[in-house]
Structure 1
Amino acid sequence: MTKARVISRLHGGLGNQLFQYAVGRAVALRNGAELLLDARHFNGDNSFQYDLGHFAIQARVAAEDELPPAKNRPLAYAWWRKFGRSPRFVREQKLGFNERIDGIGADCYLHGYFQSQRYFDDIVPTLWSDLSFREPIGGENARMGERIRTGPSVSMHVRRGDYITNSKAQAAHGSTELAYYQRALEEVRARSGQDPVVYLFSNDPAWVRDNIKLDAELVPVAINDGSTAHEDLRLMSLCDHNIIANSTFSWWGAWLNPSHSKIVTAPQQWFASPKLSNPDITPPGWLRL
């Protein structure tokens, strides 16, 4: 007898892939099903890559014959979307938490961003295990990790790259203003009673070096590139506190921080576009500034 299955469509960068894995894992566990990952989106034309292999995830990348038709087969794809029963196509209806996902059965194909901890609140301990890193930290990252651990420390993530150069991404997200980072650092200082070293993470380290001016000890972290982005995520999680951007990447850097006393700040304005809203983007206890 074939085991029940849940298929999660992966797309976007590492932060998005982690959310798509987490919701799929939650649905699969609730149904005693196997989780398969549709990674077809990561082909030669994609600026992103499949990044979940760096983690101890409990899922496998599906073979082509295990997946429903892709868009490069337009007639078969349209037929499946309109009439297909296996797997059932389940699309995210809005950017906030979709309650119907909690009760959905197996043999489904999940398509969306699913950017809320509420999708996987019931399996958080399991995800902590799943999202441990497969390989030990090494080299320059290990040395930076040791420096961070001398504490007190706070990660500060400045997301630029496609948020600046891609007109569609810029219109949707925009770039977080310096005033947010200044206020966030003040909040961390006030609430922790410490003056932490600020570890700066960005996909545009040169811009950050020239433009982020704060009354604090600043340590730019420019060790990794897109192919080793998971290492930046690991380093963020080692900091005592986290100041995140309007970015799922630093969201996960903060979420993976195991400290029970961590202070996490996130921008109040997550989207630049007034048409976009996700009231469930941050877990309880994180500060929105």
Structure 2
Amino acid sequence: MVVITHIVGGLGNQMFQYAVGRSLSVSTGQTLKLDLASMKKYTRREFSLQQFNIHADLARPHETPVTRSRGFLRRAFQLIQRQSPCQHIIEKAHTFDPTVMSLGGSLYFDGYWQSEKYFASIANTIRSDFSLAAPLSSGREAILSHIRTTNAVSVHVRRGDYVTNPSANATHGTIEPGWYEAAMQRMAERTDDPSFFVFSDDPAWAQQNLKSSWKMTFVEPQQDGRDGEDMHLMAACRNHITANSTFSWWGAWLNANPAKHVIAPLHWFRSPLHDDKDLIPATWERV
């Protein structure tokens, strides 16, 4: 008996995929395993959950369902073995599916599962699993010290493939400077003497376009494969302004302080084909 979750995408997506599997593994008392076959072919991101204290094994090829996306050799191997141990659960929509939580037996999760409703019942466990497996780098430790001396607000500016990839741009779109100005103004009305810490995959754009009379610190991204540390720097801030990005979603969610204030975009997706009603926690403000 096992719960297997299909891992693909960037760090934020990997975390959602892990979290739904972890939730079902806890509720059913089964082992959690990760299927990384798609990550071997995914060129835009690398598997990154090893940065955290996760509790999961790696799935073996014969344990995963036979699907067209697996490749000819893998399908042939599975067919020869005549094994199909798991019920294949394919995500039907971006909205929360409550029937998932009552499933039993061996399960294979295939989707993005972007809602805390899948794992809210074990929130403390998920936050513990996503604690860092190694100490912060010295540069990030210095930033953390700065964050702790201020009334810090994390601000995330996601551009990257949202700009360069036509498909990602059509689905998500980018957040304009005017929105960040309005969000920072609203945060300043709720926060005494805020200090904004700006995290971005395009720091030059952020510095050029985010102008403010408030105190601002632009955190330079590091190309060291330790972006989970940047997420934890976000989580160390008292309040948060997220982009339409799962990376900053987790940066805000990992902050366990119930008094935190989080501002998220009113429209997470540019495409009307995606319903985001279950993606943003009810306690967050949407602007």
TM-score range, shorter chain: over 0.9
Q: What residue in structure 2 maps to residue 271 of structure 1?
A: 269
| Alpha-carbon contact 2:61-2:74 (below 8 Å) kept | no
Partner Cα separation in structure 1 for residue 105 and residue 56 of structure 2: 15
Q: What residue in structure 2 maps to residue 201 of structure 1?
A: 199
Q: CA 1:151–1:75 in structure 2 vs 1: closer, same or farther (change >3 Å)?
A: closer
Q: What per-residue deviation string (whole Å, max 9, x for no partner) do you get for residues 107-149 of structure 1?
A: 1110011000000111112112111111111310000110111
| Alpha-carbon contact 1:140-1:223 (below 8 Å) kept | no
Residues matched between the structures, number: 282
- The residue correspondences of 1:59-208 to structure 2 (distance < 5 A) are 59-69=56-66, 71-73=70-72, 76=75, 85-192=84-191, 194-208=192-206
Tell me, yes or no, if structure 1 residue 232 matches structure 2 residue 261.
no
Q: What residue in structure 2 maps to residue 6 of structure 1?
A: 3
For 2:63, the aligned partner's letter is E
Of stretches 253-262 and 153-162 in structure 1, the one that deviates more from structure 2 is 253-262
Q: CA 1:250–1:186 in structure 2 vs 1: closer, same or farther (change >3 Å)?
A: same
Partner Cα separation in structure 1 for residue 111 and residue 214 of structure 2: 39
Tell me, yes or no, if structure 1 residue 212 matches structure 2 residue 210.
yes
Q: What per-residue deviation string (whole Å, max 9, x for no partner) do you get for residues 171-196 of structure 1?
A: 0000012222112112212223x121
For 1:137, the aligned partner's letter is L
| Alpha-carbon contact 1:56-1:132 (below 8 Å) kept | yes
Q: What residue in structure 1 maps to residue 45 of structure 2?
A: 48
Query: Helix, strand or coil for the counterpart of 1:218?
Result: strand
- TM-score, structure 2 as length reference: 0.93
Q: CA 1:174–1:226 in structure 2 vs 1: closer, same or farther (change >3 Å)?
A: farther
Partner Cα separation in structure 1 for residue 75 and residue 57 of structure 2: 24
Partner Cα separation in structure 2 for residue 103 and residue 42 of structure 1: 28
Of stretches 84-93 and 212-221 in structure 1, the one that deviates more from structure 2 is 84-93
Partner Cα separation in structure 2 for residue 274 and residue 265 of structure 1: 21
For 1:117, the aligned partner's letter is E
For 1:212, the aligned partner's letter is L
Give the deviation of 1:232 after TM superposition: 1.0
Q: What residue in structure 1 maps to residue 241 of structure 2?
A: 243
Partner Cα separation in structure 1 for residue 101 and residue 238 of structure 2: 32
Give the deviation of 1:228 after TM superposition: 1.8
Of stretches 207-216 and 9-18 in structure 1, the one that deviates more from structure 2 is 207-216
Q: What per-residue deviation string (whole Å, max 9, x for no partner) do you get for residues 176-220 of structure 1?
A: 12222112112212223x121111111111111122112212111
Q: CA 1:220–1:136 in structure 2 vs 1: closer, same or farther (change >3 Å)?
A: same
Q: CA 1:106–1:166 in structure 2 vs 1: closer, same or farther (change >3 Å)?
A: same
Partner Cα separation in structure 2 for residue 99 and residue 245 of structure 1: 27
| Alpha-carbon contact 1:141-1:223 (below 8 Å) kept | no
Partner Cα separation in structure 2 for residue 84 and residue 98 of structure 1: 27
Q: What per-residue deviation string (whole Å, max 9, x for no partner) do you get for residues 48-71 of structure 1?
A: 111110111111222334333452
Identity percentage of aligned residues? 38
Which portions of structure 1, spanning 4 or more consecutive aligned residues, are displaced by more than 6 angstroms? none
Query: Helix, strand or coil for the counterpart of 1:227?
Result: coil
Tell me, yes or no, if structure 1 residue 20 matches structure 2 residue 17.
yes
Partner Cα separation in structure 2 for residue 178 and residue 163 of structure 1: 15
Partner Cα separation in structure 2 for residue 106 and residue 29 of structure 1: 13
Give the deviation of 1:45 after TM superposition: 5.0
Give the deviation of 1:236 after TM superposition: 0.3
Give the deviation of 1:150 after TM superposition: 0.5
| Alpha-carbon contact 1:151-1:240 (below 8 Å) kept | no
